[in-house]
A and B are shown apart, each in its own frame.
Chain A
Amino acid sequence: MMKKDVGGVIRVTGLRVARSGRTVLDGLDLVLNAVEVTGLLGPSGCGKSTLLRSLVGVQQVQAGQVQVLGEPAGSASTRAQVGYVTQTPSVYDNLTVAENLRFFAAVLGAPHGDVDRVLSQVDLGNEATHLVSALSGGQRNRVSLAVALLGQPTVLVLDEPTVGLDPVLRRDLWGLFHCLAADGAAVVVSSHVMDEAERCDRLLLMREGQLIADETPAGLLARTGTADVEDAFLQLVEQRTPLTRSQS
Chain B
Amino acid sequence: MNPKITVAVASRILRQLKRDHRTVALMLVVPCVLITLLWWMYVDREAVFDRVGGPLLALFPFIVMFLVTSVTTLSERTSGTLERLLAMPMGRLDFLCGYAIAFGLVAVVQSMLVAGLAVGVLGLDVRGSVITLGLVAIVDALLGTALGLFVSAFARTEFQAVQFMPALVIPQLLLCGLFIPRDGLPQVLEWVSDALPMSYAVDAMNIVTRSTDWTGNLTKDLAIVAAWTFGALALGAVTLRRRTA
Residue positions of A touching B, CB distance < 8 A: 19-20, 56-61, 74, 76, 79-80, 82, 84, 86, 88-95, 99, 103-104, 106-109, 131, 147
Contacts and interface: CB of A to CB of B under 8 A. Distances in A.
Given A58-B244, A74-B243, A91-B81, A103 B87 contact: no
21 contacts: A19-B245, A57-B87, A58-B242, A59-B243, A59-B244, A60-B245, A74-B242, A79-B89, A82-B87, A88-B79, A90-B81, A90-B83, A92-B12, A92-B79, A92-B81, A95-B12, A95-B19, A103-B8, A103-B12, A107-B90, A131-B19
Contact of B89 (A89, A108, A131): A108
A109 B4 CA distance: 9
Interface size class of B (residues with CB under 8 A): 20 to 34
Contact of B8 (A61, A92, A107): A107
A71 to B, nearest CB: 13
A60 B16 contact: no
A234 to B, nearest CB: 33
Contacts of A56: 87
Nearest to B16: A94
Given A74-B243, A88-B79, A108-B89, 7 more contacts: A57-B243, A58-B83, A74-B242, A82-B87, A103-B12, A106-B5, A131-B19
Interface of B: 4-5, 8-9, 12, 15-16, 19-20, 79-81, 83-90, 242-245
B87 A80 contact: no
Given A58-B242, A91-B81, A95-B16, A107 B88 contact: yes
